Amino acid sequence: MSVLSGVKHIILVLSGKGGVGKSTVSTQLALALKEAGFKVGLLDVDLCGPSVPYLLQLEDRDVHKCDEGWVPVYADSDQKLAVMSIGFLLKDRDASVVWRGPKKNAMIKQFLTDVYWQDIDFLVIDTPPGTSDEHITVMENLKDLPCDGALLVTTSQAVSVEDCMKELSFCKKANIPVLGVLENLSGFVCPVCSECTNIFSSGGGKSLANLNNIPFLGSIPIDPSLGECGEKGKSCISVKPNSPASKVFKDLVLTI
Ligand code: ADP
């Protein structure tokens, strides 16, 4: 029996570019789902740039083995958020992972077949930017499993939106339903006067969603407190419950 057979929902988080906030979205989504009472797994398949251990402040933790497989790292004492990342397996945490495709594929396959997630409601998979070996291996190993679909993260800039189109095309080719588009780094709200300045262009994520007939899941502005959440391993909903980011993640939990 597959170690994933107890998983009820699988959600992929994709972005065309790096640095658009994909790992932040994956982590905050996992935390929001946990706070809503679900049991959650967060799998970081970004082998060359694993950020999840840092964003949850779990960098000093290790995985160990039991009879059923690898025991993931739990982010909390009540064991409601299980996390797996290559970051937990590297002896030298600052070492670069310079692997060709087959080695990466084998590692991801192991993540999907050997981690003992137990009965979790949601498995959120944080992928590297683009559409590469990692994505293909994930999809090959998710066959016949309950993959709800992909959440696409972009900024509003044309350069990110264009790459996000490639993710859409990948989803079509791989037959993955698209849950929707989330626009991150979408303007900066002045903490003094509350005026929103669109530092980059605005509305790119929404237009992408409208043009392709897929749901638009909301905009998250540049918010220093969101960056701080990553430095403390906290959820924005618990730190700043009324912020635009918190609203987006609360709505996401209700939507997915
Ligand atoms: P990616 O996974 O796309 O490479 P990350 O999620 O690692 O991007 O985010 C890159 C950096 O930007 C991190 O330091 C993160 O805290 C910060 N960040 C992401 N989204 C926001 C936001 N909306 N406001 C402020 N900082 C953000």
Tens digits of residue pLDDT in 114-172: 999 999 999 999 999 998 889 999 999 888 788 999 999 999 988 888 889 999 999 99
Q: What is the pLDDT of residue 82?
A: 97
Q: Rounded to the nearest whole angstrom, what is the distance from the C-alpha of residue 241 to the centroid of ligand 1?
A: 19
pLDDT in tens, 42-75: 999 999 989 999 999 999 999 989 998 999 999 9
Q: Does ligand 1 have an atom closer than 6 angstroms to the CB of 187?
A: no
Both tokens assigned to 79:
């064991």
Q: Alpha carbon 59 to chain centroid distance?
A: 17
193 marked as binding residue: yes
Q: How confident is the model at residue 249 (pLDDT cuts 50, 70, 90)?
A: very high
d(CA 81, CA 184): 24
- Residue 234: CB within 6 Å of ligand 1? no
Residue 204, token pair as written in the block: 């790119």
In sequence order, what are the beta bridge partners of 70?
Answer: 65, 115
| ipTM of this predicted structure | 0.99
Atom of ligand 1 nearest to the CA of 225: 25
Question: What pLDDT is stored for residue 1 in this prediction?
Answer: 65
Residue among 14, 15, 20, 24 whose CB has most ligand 1 atoms within 8 A, to mutate: 24
The predicted-structure confidence for 25-42, as pLDDT tens digits, reads as follows: 999 999 999 999 999 999
